[in-house]
Each structure stands twice: as structure tokens, then as C-alpha cells.
């Protein structure tokens, strides 16, 4: 009798172990689906775009024929836009984080700001486009210009920068702050000369990641009117501009197949710049990752 029972258990055991193995393989395969699609995407973009990628492509303005079209206006536009976005969002974002971490007292108003930032991070980017259209394009009368686009994008990535900076500030050990106070430094002196420098690598990494998200954003810039075809580079904050994703979107929408290859070439440039920014972020993180 006992033997039978044991045999039954053994049999069931084998089944359970087998199912465990099968499911493990299944879980692994599911994980690879995402990776496979990533690889396919890169392969597809490279094979489609590489033929049209050349120095001429990078340094040319839009053109009516695929062979002559280039991404220069978008490349420079994206870089200029990022400069504006970085300046505005870093100043406001880091200041907000310092306020929330170092000055704000625990009360309803502080909680309100925190919850608000969290919710803002979940607002679809296209809604920020509508905000920019109403305020910057029409109300402030900037029109479809670099500054209108820059301010819209700065507000869009503001929550990311605030949260990243808060984390960086929080990770500064309190011992070195107390040492600073112990030397007779005031609160602001401690923040400016001790806490901020120590938190800087974290803030920089977060900022670069937020900017690399902004450089690929398309929807809000379409709404605030980044041009699809311009033949001069922006020379002031109130100049017309375009960015790489908008040019790519424009090429994608054309019926002739050659334009798909042009779009592919544009995507290679865009992804190369993203890769560059991300490597800088990783580099900063690795270089400064030391225990304080």
C-alpha cells in the first residue's frame, strides 16, 4: 500500500518538475520576443537606410527628390532645441528638486506638488503640444518658432528631471552635510558647495536620459508647428525650425518607396545621436559611481 502511494507521488512529482521545465523555457522565449523585435528593428533600419546615408545626406536640406534629400536642417534644429530645453528644464527642475528635498516642510502643499509632478509625468505628450499651442504659439505670440517648441518640450520633460534630481539629492549621505554645518556653513552654502556637487553625476545622468527622450519626441512638436521643410537654419529664438523626427515622419508619409529608404537613413542618424547621449550618461554614471 505504501509502495503504491510512493509511486503515485513519484509520478506526480515528475509531472510537476516537467511542467516547471516547460514553463521555464516558455518564460525565456517570451523574454526573447522583445529582444528579437529590437534586433529586427535595428536590422531593418540599417538595411533600408544605409544606402542613402552619406555625408551629403547629413549636410543637405530637404529636397523634392529622394536622392538629394538631407537631414541637416533637422539635425541642427534638434540640437538647438535641446540646448533651449536643457537650459530651461535643468534650472527649473533642479531648483524644484532642491526645494522639495531640502526646504519644503511636510505639509499638504508639499504633498500636492509631489502628486502633481507624478500625474504630470503620466500626461500624454500630445496634450503638452496643445498646451504649447495655446500658450506659447498663440497667447505669447511666439508663433511656430524655436522658442515655442523649446518651452513646450522643457515642460514635457520637467517631471523626469525633478524626479531624477530628487533621487540624486536624496542619495547624498547626511554625514557630509552635517560636517558642512559643523564647520559653520549656512544652509544655502551647504547645498551649493557640498550637496549639489555630490549629487551632480546623478542629476546629469537623469538629465541626459530625459533629453534623449525629448530628442525623439515628435507629437508635441507637430502640434506647435515645427516645419516639415525649411531651407535655412534657425538664426534666432523666433526663427522657424524643424527637428529630425519630424523630417522622418514627413518622409515616412510619402507614397514612393524611395522615401522609405530616406526615412531609414534619417532614423540611423537619430538613433546614432541617441546612442551617443546614452553612452555619455553611462560614462558619467560609471566614472562617478563611488561611495561617498
Partner 1 sequence: MDKSLQSGGNRLNVQQMIEQRKQKTSFGERIEKIIPWFLLLCAVVSVLTTVGILFTLLRESVGFFSDVSLVDFYTGTSWSPWSGEYGVAPLIGGTLLITLIATVVAVPLGLMSAIFLSEYANDKARRVIKPVLEVLAGIPTVVYGYFALTFVTPMFQSFIPDLGIFNALSGGFVVGIMIIPMVASLSEDAMNSVPNALREGAYGLGATKLEVVFKVVLPAAFSGIVASIVLAISRAIGETMIVTIAAGATPNLTMDPTQSIQTMTAFIVQAATGDTTFGSTIYYSLYAVGMTLFVFTLIMNLIAQYISRRFREEY
Window 168-187: residues binding partner 1 (CB under 8 A): 186-187
| Residue 106 in the binding site for partner 1 (CB under 8 A) | no
Verify binding: residue 60, partner 1, rule CB under 8 A: no
Site track for partner 1 across 14-53, x = CB under 8 A: --xx-xx--xx-xxx-xx-xxx-xx-xx--xx--x-----
Contact at 8 Å (CB) between 230 and 62?
A: yes
Give the residue with the Cβ less far from partner 1, 272 or 292.
272
The Cα 270–Cα 247 span in angstroms is: 11
What are φ and ψ of residue 166, in 5° steps? -60, -45
CB of 121 to partner 1, least distance (A): 8
Span interacting with partner 1, options 12-20, 51-59, 174-182, 197-205, rule CB under 8 A: 12-20
3-state per-residue secondary structure call for 180-246: HHHCCCCHHHHHHHHHHHHHHHHHHHHHHHHHHHHHHCCHHHHHCCCCCCCCCCCCCCCCCCCCHHH
Q: How far apart are CA 275 and CA 204, in angstroms?
A: 16
> What's the CA gap between 148 and 139, in Å, rounded?
11
Using CB under 8 A as the binding rule, whether residue 99 contacts partner 1 is answered as: yes
CB of 209 to partner 1, least distance (A): 8
User: Residue 289: what are its φ and ψ, rounded to 5°?
Assistant: -75, 85
Asked if 212 is part of the footprint of partner 1 (rule: CB under 8 A), the reply reads yes
- The site string for partner 1 over 239-278 (x = CB under 8 A, - otherwise) reads ------x--xx--xx------x--xx--x--xx--x---x
Amino acid at each position: 500500500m505504501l509502495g503504491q502511494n510512493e509511486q503515485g507521488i513519484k509520478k506526480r512529482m515528475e509531472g510537476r518538475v516537467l511542467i516547471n521545465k516547460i514553463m521555464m523555457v516558455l518564460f525565456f522565449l517570451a523574454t526573447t520576443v522583445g529582444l528579437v523585435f529590437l534586433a529586427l528593428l535595428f536590422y531593418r533600419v540599417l538595411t533600408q537606410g544605409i544606402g542613402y546615408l552619406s555625408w551629403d545626406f547629413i549636410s543637405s536640406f530637404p529636397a523634392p527628390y529622394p536622392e538629394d534629400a538631407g537631414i541637416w536642417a533637422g539635425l541642427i534644429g534638434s540640437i538647438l532645441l535641446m540646448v533651449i530645453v536643457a537650459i530651461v528644464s535643468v534650472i527649473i527642475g533642479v531648483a524644484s528638486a532642491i526645494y522639495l528635498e531640502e526646504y519644503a516642510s511636510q505639509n499638504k502643499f508639499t504633498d500636492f506638488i509631489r502628486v502633481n509632478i507624478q500625474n504630470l509625468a503620466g500626461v500624454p505628450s500630445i496634450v503638452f503640444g496643445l498646451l504649447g499651442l495655446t500658450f506659447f504659439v498663440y497667447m505669447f505670440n511666439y508663433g511656430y518658432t524655436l522658442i515655442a517648441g523649446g518651452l513646450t518640450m522643457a515642460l514635457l520633460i520637467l517631471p523626469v528631471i525633478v524626479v531624477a534630481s530628487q533621487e540624486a539629492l536624496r542619495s547624498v549621505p547626511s554625514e557630509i552635510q552635517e560636517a558642512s554645518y559643523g564647520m559653520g556653513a549656512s544652509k544655502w552654502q551647504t547645498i551649493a558647495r557640498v550637496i549639489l556637487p555630490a549629487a551632480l553625476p546623478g542629476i546629469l545622468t537623469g538629465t541626459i536620459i530625459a533629453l534623449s527622450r525629448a530628442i525623439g519626441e515628435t507629437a508635441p512638436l507637430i502640434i506647435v508647428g515645427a516645419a516639415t521643410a525649411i531651407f535655412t537654419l534657425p538664426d534666432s529664438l523666433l526663427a522657424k525650425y524643424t527637428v529630425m523626427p519630424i523630417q522622418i515622419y514627413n518622409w515616412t508619409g510619402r507614397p514612393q518607396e524611395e522615401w522609405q529608404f530616406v526615412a531609414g537613413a534619417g532614423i540611423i542618424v537619430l538613433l546614432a545621436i541617441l546612442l551617443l547621449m546614452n553612452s555619455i550618461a553611462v560614462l558619467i554614471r560609471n566614472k562617478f559611481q563611488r561611495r561617498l
